[in-house]
A and B are shown apart, each in its own frame.
Chain A
Amino acid sequence: MAQDDPENPTHGRRDEVERPSSLSGPISSSAHHPHRRHAPPLYGVIAEFETPGDLVHAARKVYEQGYRRINGYSPYPIEELSEAIGFTHTSLPLIVFIGGVLGGIAGFGMQYYMEVIDYPLNVGGKPYNSWPAFIPITFECIVLAAAFSAVLGMLILNKLPQPYHPVFNTPNFALATRDRFFLAVEANDPKFEHDKVFALLQSLNATEVSDVEV
């Protein structure tokens, strides 16, 4: 199966749609699907598109039909896609903001502690708490802490690193890093009915629709 792709082919912000239960694994997802025809448990149905416009259009339609556990895969970020799959909120900005604020407080506090409390030095007759001189380092600390929060927060929210993901079983999925666009409807969606979803995706200008096993 196409599991040899070294790059992460998923859409830029995977936390957008990756909810905890999507990792619930074979047992729970197979339990939900009496209509399933395949012997191995089903992860979902996935459609392949040639253009980002088709993907966004399809995602909107699928969302309108009431499906919520859907995910898009694209070689590059598509702003509209996150809205189309109903992803409106992520806690990442808040994590980054808090990281930045804490970094700033720590940066300023470190300098204040050194220059005022631990080892006061008279520099050019200026006060010990010479705040203008502390600003550049405080700013750097804000940037550093915010950047670390962004990277670590992104990894944690996306549950990365994740060496295996069922979508890798999709035929042609390696092309998601090049010039193809994919839309998955996951089997643990409460409304998921295999045949209906399969037909719906087929009607949306997909070049190929396939079942994906866990």
Chain B
Amino acid sequence: MSTSFNPPNLTQFMRRALIVGVVLILAMLVPWDHDRFFAAYLIGWTFWTGIAIGSIALLMLQHLTGGGWGFVIRRILEASTRTLPAMAVLFIPILLGAHSLYHHWMDKDEAAKHEVVKFKLKYLNFPFFTVRAVIYFAVWLLLTYFLNRWSLLQDRTADNRYTKNMRTLSGPGMVALIFTVTFASVDWYMSLEPEWFSTIYGFLFVASWSLSALAFTIAALAVLSKDEPMKRIVAPLHFHDLGKLLLALVMLWAYFAFSQYLIIWSGNLPEEIVWYLKRIPGLWGATVIAIGLLHFAAPFLFLLSRSVKRNPRTLMMIAVLIIVMRMVDLIWMIAPAFGKSNWVWLDAIALVGFGGLWLAVFAWQLGKRSLIPINDPQYESVLEQQHMGGH
């Protein structure tokens, strides 16, 4: 048995994804409508950045808990997090489009009309907004840098000190990540409707981004484990564990999403219910039902089954369904904030376009390292598990 876990050649996939991404993002400019372009840009950028940030959360989670499931997905998670520098650069257009996206509080005259928004200007103003964004990216990029660097050094030196370092960083890192994601989601998405507020909104994004990151990782692992070298080490029990985690995150997301609705529905206060009143009429109402059925009920029921979780193909189908429904849910959460000036089809193009760019960077980064951290202290025991699993 060979001990090398060199990644397969992904150059062709990378090139195609890059072309699709660039073409579609340029195509978004064709209608030449600033407001609609930036709205779609924000949605497309958010979804894929969310996978990168969710991957930091999962990476730290597996450093804290250990276990074969985390061992086999670590390099996929690390490659996802290494897309963050590119996504940070792609955040600059959002700052440039802030006048269009956040005009409710960027425009002084408009903000003056509402007492509540006027009060919030101490927090919601462009300089402070930019400084905060820099802080969020600094935290995320630092976590990404150290977790990736130590992991690489461990591969090279087989020094267990790095394992310890990564574990030590992951505890406080998790706290920092949850705080930054909470504030970022308030800044970037909740402030699109600056009069409205919800205290669970940040957690909703923590859960959503972790969920989309896990769904993407499962799909990537299922594809990679079809061939050498991952075929040698990935066993049904790893998919089983990942499936259980996926079920837990689906339920966590549903819990947060429903809690927000239940509390606002119970209180029935005019300043709170506006958010839902914009998101129920017409096709948005049908979207809510679709989200309830396909984002929660269907994955929940299928993931209860042991055989569905242990079969990479069925688990991948559910992961893909969740990825698609995460996109639908994100559009449903953000697009209605722009009212009638939002084109949903443009949002869809942005989601696919950013997908192309992101996957190209992901594939490039995935190709740089061994697909398995071969000098990790868990290596032997994971290999034994696979052997005992004997499939």
Q: Least Cβ distance of A91 to chain B in Å?
A: 13
Q: Does A135 lie within 8 Å of B304, measured CB to CB?
A: no
Q: Does B390 lie within 8 Å of A80, measured CB to CB?
A: yes
A31: CB under 8 A from chain B? no
A79: CB under 8 A from chain B? yes
Q: Does A135 lie within 8 Å of B384, measured CB to CB?
A: no
- Minimum CB distance partner of A60 in chain B: B390
B197: CB under 8 A from chain A? no
Segment 294-326 of B: residues with Cβ below 8 Å from A: 304-306
CA distance A93 to B266 in the complex (A): 35
Q: Does B261 lie within 8 Å of A132, measured CB to CB?
A: yes
B residues near A (Cβ < 8 Å) are 237, 258, 261-262, 265-266, 268, 304-306, 384, 388-390
Q: Least Cβ distance of B197 to chain A in Å?
A: 20
Q: Least Cβ distance of A205 to chain B in Å?
A: 15
Q: Least Cβ distance of B235 to chain A in Å?
A: 10
Q: Does B262 lie within 8 Å of A53, measured CB to CB?
A: no
Q: Does A133 lie within 8 Å of B262, measured CB to CB?
A: yes
Q: Does B389 lie within 8 Å of A80, measured CB to CB?
A: yes
Q: Does A132 lie within 8 Å of B390, measured CB to CB?
A: no
Q: Does A132 lie within 8 Å of B265, measured CB to CB?
A: yes
Q: Pick the residue among A53, A126, A135, A136 that contacts B388 (CB under 8 A).
A: A53
> Provided the pairs A80-B390, A93-B306, A124-B268 are in contact, do residues A132 and B384 lie with their beta carbons within 8 angstroms?
no
Q: 4 more A-B contacts (CB under 8 A) besides A52-B388, A93-B306?
A: A53-B388, A56-B388, A79-B237, A124-B268
Residue numbers in B under 8 Å from A126 (CB-CB):
268
Q: Least Cβ distance of A130 to chain B in Å?
A: 9
Residue numbers in A under 8 Å from B258 (CB-CB):
132, 135
User: Considering residues B261, B265, B388, which has the most beta carbons from chain A within 10 angstroms of its beta carbon?
Assistant: B388
Q: Does B268 lie within 8 Å of A135, measured CB to CB?
A: no
User: Considering residues A52, A80, A93, which has the most beta carbons from chain B within 10 angstroms of its beta carbon?
Assistant: A80
CA distance A53 to B258 in the complex (A): 45
CA distance A208 to B142 in the complex (A): 55
Residue numbers in B under 8 Å from A63 (CB-CB):
none
Q: Does B237 lie within 8 Å of A135, measured CB to CB?
A: no
CA distance A66 to B161 in the complex (A): 49
A97: CB under 8 A from chain B? yes
A183-206 interface mask toward B, CB cutoff 8 Å, 1 = contact, 0 = none?
A: 000000000000000000000000
Q: Least Cβ distance of B254 to chain A in Å?
A: 10
Closest 6 CB pairs of A and B: A80-B388, A132-B262, A56-B388, A132-B265, A80-B389, A79-B237
- Minimum CB distance partner of A93 in chain B: B306
Q: Pick the residue among A52, A56, A124, A135 that contacts B262 (CB under 8 A).
A: A135
Q: Does B306 lie within 8 Å of A136, measured CB to CB?
A: no
Residue numbers in A under 8 Å from B265 (CB-CB):
132
> Provided the pairs A79-B237, A133-B262, A136-B262 are in contact, do residues A97 and B304 lie with their beta carbons within 8 angstroms?
yes
Q: Least Cβ distance of B236 to chain A in Å?
A: 10
Q: Least Cβ distance of A55 to chain B in Å?
A: 10
CA distance A126 to B262 in the complex (A): 13
CA distance A93 to B304 in the complex (A): 9
A57-69 interface mask toward B, CB cutoff 8 Å, 1 = contact, 0 = none?
A: 0001000000000
A130-143 interface mask toward B, CB cutoff 8 Å, 1 = contact, 0 = none?
A: 00110110000000
CA distance A135 to B260 in the complex (A): 13
CA distance A52 to B261 in the complex (A): 49
Residue numbers in B under 8 Å from A52 (CB-CB):
388
Q: Least Cβ distance of A190 to chain B in Å?
A: 26
Residue numbers in B under 8 Å from A135 (CB-CB):
258, 262
Q: List 27 A–B pairs whose Cβ atoms lie within 8 Å, in order of A's numbering.
A: A52-B388, A53-B384, A53-B388, A56-B388, A60-B390, A79-B237, A79-B389, A80-B388, A80-B389, A80-B390, A93-B304, A93-B305, A93-B306, A97-B304, A124-B266, A124-B268, A126-B268, A132-B258, A132-B261, A132-B262, A132-B265, A132-B266, A133-B262, A133-B266, A135-B258, A135-B262, A136-B262
Residue numbers in A under 8 Å from B384 (CB-CB):
53
A77-88 interface mask toward B, CB cutoff 8 Å, 1 = contact, 0 = none?
A: 001100000000
